[in-house]
Amino acid sequence: MTQSLTIARPDDWHLHLRDGAMLQAVLPETARHFGRAIIMPNLVPPVISGAQAVAYKDRIMAALPEGMSFEPLMTLYLTEESDPEDIAAAHATGLIKAVKLYPAGATTNSASGVANFKNVRAALEKMAEIGLPLCVHGEVTDHDVDIFDREAVFIDRVLDPIRKSTPGLRVIMEHITTQDGVAYVQDNADGLGATITTHHLIINRNHILVGGIKPHYYCLPVAKREEHRLALRAAATSGDARFFLGTDSAPHLDGDKESACGCAGCFTATNTMPLLAHVFEEEGALDHLESFASRNGPGFYGLPVNQDTLTLVKNQQATAFPDKIESPQGPVTVFSPGYDVFWTVAE
């Protein structure tokens, strides 16, 4: 028997589209299923000014295949030199939906990020004043902090002090990976939300390391212990409006991942919605998939829920997802959960 589920069209509240030929290769994978996405600004060079964001949005729209509709929601990359007035002006035009904070050196293309948080105080205060949300990559970069502890330490040492000293600042903890992240959101009042990726609902750190190193499961923040994965699944499937989908789908060429120093990022744009249907069904929470993927994000950002819908169908036969997406520079491996999934998106 086929089972089907129709939900308001989902959005992706954290996405890497890159630029040039890679943008062209990966954009249809997102636009096929998602109405909108928050576009990460970690290009080289990063998207810092309003003018750069306008130009990047134009390149995204130019790469969109005929007949597809998709709205990129643009962000600015916060640096210690960011001018609060420039940020406010870019927000006032309606173009910029959030500002992204990368601790310097935390992840891919984060070298221009923030090392001294005192130097972004004025920008954060301006954002609180104008109601512009801050998307946070929540990991400290101190060499003496174990990589598996970097999110929990960031919450205590950086995030909580920033929130206490900047009342009214709306914050999205991006791609949370720990019970600590879940609890911090649950224990705090208005103005705090969190995105959760598809892959962090599926893999724990064993998937990366047991039986040989699996570079396509390596991302940042790195997947943690099983107890953390279970906490993320409970949060995502709970219906709690503060948790919503941000895939962090992050394409890298296979050659750059299957390397002695492999890049961080899982590419999940292609099969995220069927994988989520599988996860939510396992948790007995299919009725909360629409909240997580289509309603809670717009709610947090103060945007309307998409008017059109997406239908997921569960078949008798396992769905054959593509293994790779081709780009002119080479293939990008599509995230595989390592088990059969019977859900697919009805075309």
The residues annotated as belonging to the active site are 248
Cis peptide before 322 (omega within 30 of 0): no
Binding residues among 87-126 for ligand DOR as defined by CB under 6 A: 107-108
| 248 contacts Zn ion (rule: CB under 5 A) | yes
Interface with ligand DOR: number of residues (CB under 6 A): 11
| 139 contacts Zn ion (rule: CB under 5 A) | no
Task: Name the residue with tokens 């509240």.
Answer: 13
Between the alpha carbon of residue 233 and those of residues 202, 242, 254, 286, the distances in Å are 9, 14, 28, 13
Rounded to an integer, what distance in angstroms lies between the CA atom of residue 344 and that of residue 4? 9
Rounded to an integer, what distance in angstroms lies between the CA atom of residue 204 and that of residue 200? 7
| 60 neighbors 22 (Cβ within 8 angstroms) | no
Q: Choose among ligand DOR, Zn ion, none what residue 265 binds, the Cβ cut-off being 5 to 8 Å by kind.
A: ligand DOR
Binding residues among 37-66 for ligand DOR as defined by CB under 6 A: 42
Q: Choose among ligand DOR, Zn ion, none what residue 329 binds, the Cβ cut-off being 5 to 8 Å by kind.
A: none
Q: Choose among Zn ion, ligand DOR, none what residue 264 binds, the Cβ cut-off being 5 to 8 Å by kind.
A: ligand DOR
Binding mask 199-228 for ligand DOR (x = CB under 6 A): --------------------xx--------
Q: Choose among ligand DOR, Zn ion, none what residue 42 binds, the Cβ cut-off being 5 to 8 Å by kind.
A: ligand DOR
* E strands present in the chain: 3-8, 12-15, 36-39, 71-77, 96-101, 134-136, 171-173, 192-196, 243-245, 309-314, 324-327, 330-333, 343-345
| 253 contacts ligand DOR (rule: CB under 6 A) | no
| 9 neighbors 35 (Cβ within 8 angstroms) | yes
Which residues contribute to the site for Zn ion (CB under 5 A)? 248
* Chain contacts with ligand DOR (rule: CB under 6 A): 16, 42, 107-108, 137, 219-220, 248, 250, 264-265
